[in-house]
Chains A and B, each alone.
Chain A
C-alpha cells in the first residue's frame, strides 16, 4: 500500500476543490484511506493520518473514528506522536466522550516523564479539558509538580491546578501547602503571573482561603511597585510598560483581598493612587491597567479622594478617541452610578453625548446610564435628549427607551401637562415599539390627571388624524375618545393654548369606524374602538348611527368583536325606552371675582323618580375675572316624565377659605322633561 499522503499535500489538494460537493468527495476518499490505514495498525503513519483527520475535522467533517488513534499516539514514545496525539485529544476527546477517561493513565505517566516538554503536553491537556474524575485521579501529580524547582513546569502546574479546583472544588485544600512561597523573590518572577492566577482562583472560591491569603497584600503591593518603578525589561515589556498582564492580575487579586477589609484596603491605597496617576495612557495597554485599577478602587474600601480619582479617570476615558475605551468607561460608570451618584453626575453631559455615538453597544450603555442619572433637577434637559434619542435610535432600543422614559416621567414629571406631553411624544414617535403593558398604565395616568382630560383627548384625536398605524397610540386614543368624547366635541380646553381641534360628532365617529375597518388595526385595537363607539352612545346624540355600527359587528368573524357587539346590542335593546327620556344639561360656571375659585366641585341631587349622571368636569378651577369657565355635562333620566327639579351644591376654595353654596333649580324649560 502506498504511503498515505502528507498533511500539507492534502490541504493543498482540498483547497483546489471548486464546489462543496467536490470537497466532500475528496474528504470521503481520504477518510476511507485513513480508515484502512488505521485498521492495519500502522505505527509509522498514524501521526500523519491523525493530523489530516484534525484538518478535516476543522472543516466540519466527522472525525470520531480517530479518537482511539489519538490515544495510541499519546501512548507512543515518539515526541512527534505525542504532540499530535495530545492535540487530537484536546480537539476530539473532551469529557463527554466515552473514551476520555482512557487517557488518564497515559497522562499520569507523561506527568512524570523525563522530558519536560512531554510533561508540558500532559499538563496542558489536563489543564484544558480534564474531566472531574481525571482531575481527582491526577491532582496529586499536579500538586507534586507545583513544588518542583523547574519554573517551566511549575507555571503550567499552577494553571492546571486552577482547572482542577474549578472541576473539583473540594480538592482546593491539597494545593495550599504548595502555595507557600509562590510569590517569593527566589522565583525571579517567572512564575508570578500563574501564581497570582492560582491564588485568585482560591480566594474567589473560599472565604477561608481569602482570609488566609490577606497577609500577602504587602508582598503584592511590593511586587506591583517594583514593576512600575523598574527600568526597561524588554522581555516582559509592552509599549514601555512592564509586564502589563501581571500588573492587571495583581490588581485583580488586590481587589478581592481588599474588598470589605479596612486594613488591606488601606495598605493598597498608595500603590493604587500611584498606578492611577503614573500609568501611560497613550496606548491600549496602559488603559487596560488603569481600567483594572479603577475597578479595584471602586470595589475596596478606598478613601473618597481615591474614588473621585477613579471616576475622573473614567470621565477622561469617555473623551478618548478609542471607542473601546469609551465602552469600558460606560460599563464601569454603570456599575458605580448607584454608589457614587454625585461623582458620576459631573460627567453627565459627556455621557449624554455618547448617545450619538455610532457604536450600538456604546449607545445602549449611554442610554442605561442616562436613565440612571435622571433626577428632579435635570429631568427637563435630560428628557429632551432622551426623546431626541428615541426618535433616531435603532428599533432594538426603542422599546427599552420608551419604557425608561415612561418610568422617569412618572417619577420626576415637573407638571401634569409636561407628563402628558412627554407620553404623547413617545406614543407618536415610537408608538409601535411601546410595550403592551404601557397602554393600561397610560390610561390609568390619564384618568388620574383629571384636569388634563380635555387637553389629552384633543391632542390624541389630532394624533389619530395624522397616523393610525401605531397601535398603542391608537388604543389609548380610542379609549380616551370613548371616555371623554363629550369634552372633545365641546372644544373646551383648560390650557391657555387650546389645541384648535374642530371635532364634530360625525367626524369623530368616522375616525373610530375607520379604525374598525383599517388593515393596520390589530384585533385588540378594533376591540378598543368598538367599545369606544359604544360608550359614545351615552355622550353623543347620533345614537342611531352608533347602533347601526354596533349591530354590523354582531356578525364579525373576530369572536371578541362579535361578542362585544352582541352584548352592546343587548344593552341598547334593554335601555331603548330610556333614550327619549334623557335630558342632557350642560352647566357653565364662571367667576367674576378677582380671585380664582379652586377645588371647584359641582354636585346635584334629584327626586327619587329621576336618575342622575354627572360626567367629569372640564376642570376644577374657575378662573377669576371671567377668564374662562368650567363646563360639566349632566344627564338626567326621567322615565316617568315628571317635572325636573334639582338641588345643587357648589363647593370651592376662594381666597384661601372654603365656600359652600346651596340652591334649588326649578325653572327647567318644559321641553327638557316632557
Chain B
C-alpha cells in the first residue's frame, strides 16, 4: 500500500497515512485530485479505479470514504477486507464508531491504524490482538498521566 486517505462526503480530510516519501505539495495535490475523482463516482460503479500508475481501492462507510492506493501486484479484493478490518477495529474501540469520533479523536485513529498496519502491510491479522495492544498502550498512557498528576505540597515534602 502506498497511502490511505479518509475523507468526508464534502471532501474534508479526516486521516492521511503515507507510506511513500512525497513533498507536502505533492501530497496535497494527490489528495485533492483523488478526492475529486472518488467523490465523482456513482454508486453503481465498482470499488476500484486506475489512477496514474496505481490501483485505487475505496469504500464508503456512512459519511466517510476509506481510500487506499495499492500497487500492481497487490490484490484488490483483499484490500477491501483490510479496509473493512480497520473499520471493525475502530468500531470496537469507539463503540459504534461515527465520523465525529474520528474527528475528535484523530490521534487515536492513527494509533489504531499503526497497530494494524506497518509500512503498508498488515502486521497482525487477529482483531483481538490488535485491540489488546491498543488497550495496553492506552493503559500505559494513563499510568504515565497519573504519575504526572501534580501532587499536593504536603505530598511533595512527604507529610502525607
Contacts and interface: CB of A to CB of B under 8 A. Distances in A.
A328 B77 contact: yes
Given A152-B133, A193-B122, A235-B128, A361 B48 contact: yes
A285 B75 CA distance: 11
B119 A328 contact: no
A8 B28 contact: no
Interface stretch (A79-87, A342-350, A533-541): A79-87
Contacts of B104: 8, 11-12
A58 B24 CA distance: 11
A258 interface: no
A236 B125 contact: yes
B77 A284 contact: yes
A248 B121 contact: no
Interface stretch (A157-165, A263-271, A564-572, A606-614): A157-165
A248 B118 contact: no
B123 A194 contact: yes
Interface string A233-259: 001101000011110100010000000
Contacts of A362: 46
Contacts of B123: 155-156, 159, 193-194
A529 to B, nearest CB: 41
Contacts of B42: 358
A80 B145 contact: yes
B110 interface: yes
Given A235-B129, A236-B126, A292 B75 contact: yes
A553 interface: no
Interface stretch (A120-128, A170-178, A590-598): A120-128
A361 B45 contact: yes
A79 B144 contact: yes
Contacts, number: 158
Given A84-B107, A248-B78, A162 B48 contact: no
Give the interface SS of chain A, mostly helix, strand, loop or mixed: helix
Contacts of A38: none
Contact of A94 (B21, B121, B122, B148): B21
Given A248-B78, A284-B81, A361-B45, A129 B144 contact: no
B97 interface: no
A245 B122 contact: yes
A359 interface: yes
Interface string A352-394: 0000001111100000000000000000000000000000000
Given A79-B144, A160-B118, A244-B81, A358 B76 contact: no
B49 interface: yes
Contacts of A152: 133
A632 to B, nearest CB: 55
A616 to B, nearest CB: 48
Smallest CB-CB A-B distances: 9 pairs: A288-B77, A323-B46, A235-B126, A159-B118, A288-B78, A127-B119, A79-B144, A245-B125, A163-B119
Interface of A: 7-8, 11-12, 15, 51, 54-55, 58-60, 78-80, 83-84, 87, 90-91, 94-96, 115, 117, 120, 123-124, 127-129, 131, 152, 155-156, 159-160, 162-163, 190, 193-194, 197, 235-236, 238, 243-246, 248, 252, 284-285, 287-289, 291-292, 295, 323-328, 358-362
